[in-house]
Amino acid sequence: MPGGLRTTMLNPAEMMPDMNDPDRIAQMAQLAMLLELSSSPKPGNVDRCHDYEDVSFSHFIASAVLSYPSFRRAASGESDIGRLILDTVSAWREWGLRGNTHFGEIALLIPLASAASRPGPLRSEISRVVESTTVEDSICFYRAFELAGARAADVNEMSLKDPGAADEIATRGVRLIDLMRLSQGHDLIAREWATGFSRSFELADALCEMVPRHGLNRGVVLTYITALSEEPDSLVASKFGIDVALEVSRMAGAALRSPDVISSAMEMDRVLISRDINPGSTADLIASSLFIALMRGLRF
Backbone angles phi, psi at 202, to 5 degrees: -60, -45
In the chain the first and final C-alpha atoms are separated, in Å, by 11
Query: What amino acid occupies position 149?
Result: G
Decide: is 20 part of the binding site for a second copy (CB under 8 A).
Answer: no
Interacting positions 194-253 with a second copy (CB under 8 A): 216-217
Alpha-carbon Rg of the chain, whole angstroms? 18
Interacting positions 33-92 with a second copy (CB under 8 A): 34-35, 38, 48-49, 51-59, 61-62, 65-66, 68-69
Neighbouring C-alpha atoms within 13 Å toward the C-beta of 228: 38
- Cβ proximity to a second copy, 35 vs 285, nearer residue: 35
Decide: is 157 part of the binding site for a second copy (CB under 8 A).
Answer: no
- Cβ proximity to a second copy, 94 vs 243, nearer residue: 94
Contacting a second copy (CB under 8 A), which of 11, 12, 96, 274? 96
Interface mask toward a second copy for 162-201; x: CB under 8 A: ----------------------------------------
- Cβ proximity to a second copy, 10 vs 242, nearer residue: 10
37 burial (CB, 10 Å; 0-12 / 13-18 / 19+) is: buried
Diameter of the chain measured on Cα atoms? 56
Decide: is 2 part of the binding site for a second copy (CB under 8 A).
Answer: yes
Contacting a second copy (CB under 8 A), which of 20, 93, 95, 213? 95
CB of 184 to a second copy, least distance (A): 32
- Residues touching a second copy, count (CB under 8 A): 39
Contacting a second copy (CB under 8 A), which of 3, 158, 168, 258? 3
Residues near a second copy (CB under 8 A): 1-3, 6, 8, 10, 16, 23, 27, 30-31, 34-35, 38, 48-49, 51-59, 61-62, 65-66, 68-69, 94-96, 98, 216-217, 299-300
